[in-house]
Amino acid sequence: MDQPSVDSTDSETPPFEGELVPLPYLSADEAVEGREDPFVLVVQNALEFCRWTVAEAPGLQWIQAENLLGEPEVWATAARKGNGVALDVIVSDPATEYSAIYRLVDLRVVRDVRVTIPVLPGFLKALRLAASIQVPVRLLPGTITSGNIAELKEAADYFLHDPSVEVPVEFFHSLFGFARGLNAPDLWIVTESDPDIFESPLASGGPRFVERHMETLDADEAECVKCRWRDFCRGYFKHPDPSFPCDGIKSVFSVIGDAADEMGRDLAGFGDGESPEGV
């Protein structure tokens, strides 16, 4: 769940050392208490959730909680006791479940928690509520359609300009870092769908999948070749359809990019490396 910091500019230090083993996502039936090797636990009912929020498993990186927003007792229990393991709360249908995000308000005080929201109709309401209670958000863009471009642009503007937003909102957070020239993770990493790093439900394609995908797009001279966002997106929206037209999503990226460019001009205006107070 933790992503490389967008504040890091050290491009000489690799993010991983030695042989890279993808982080496995295990169901409650597959995982065992006491496991020391790193893993993510996926739970889908209250019994599994309550068991693993108090279990001892040194390798447990975080718990991915699915289909549980409608059960307030599990969040109340996790807020009172537990092992302190971080939680990733999945919102299945943001249009109908968004109000239940408020149940996490006490939970965030006792353990790290993130809300993952698919970019489906109504997702902006879920994003606003999560940010208002200071819970970090991960947006899963999935398949972009003309119908959700406008809502994505509104969400990007909210992330950039609403003073109440004090937590990271991914993928906007890393995209802004990339546009500022920082060492930000790419979109495959942000969405935890790079199979070289995550053995997750979102990751498929086998070893070097992203690299092979980009090689294919380059060979076909896809629009990625000259795209400003190539090194951040890495063909994310060209999978599984290499012919997918990216004009819509690039217009969303440009909302973030224009804001990053404006910040760069403002900082450059102070000259000699000086910055305005508080920046």
Flag whether pLDDT at 82 surpasses 80.
Answer: no
**pLDDT bracket for residue 21 (50, 70, 90):** confident
Residue 140's nearest CA partner among 71, 215, 191, 199 is 191
**pLDDT bracket for residue 268 (50, 70, 90):** confident
pLDDT of residue 145: 86
Residues, the chain:
279
Q: Which token pair is 229? A: 């966002």
What is the C-alpha separation between 96 and 122, in angstroms, rounded?
Answer: 8
**pLDDT bracket for residue 240 (50, 70, 90):** very high
**C-alpha distance across the termini of the chain, in Å:** 27
Flag whether pLDDT at 96 surpasses 70.
Answer: yes
Distances (CA, A) of 88 to 45, 135, 162: 14, 10, 24
pLDDT of residue 253: 98
What 3-state class would DSSP assign to 29? coil
Percent of the chain with pLDDT over 70: 90
Check: CB of residue 6 under 8 Å from CB of residue 168: no
Q: 217's torsion region: left (phi>0), alpha (psi -120 to 50) or beta?
A: alpha
The residue extents of the domains of the chain are 23-204
| pLDDT tens column, 38-47 | 999 999 999 9
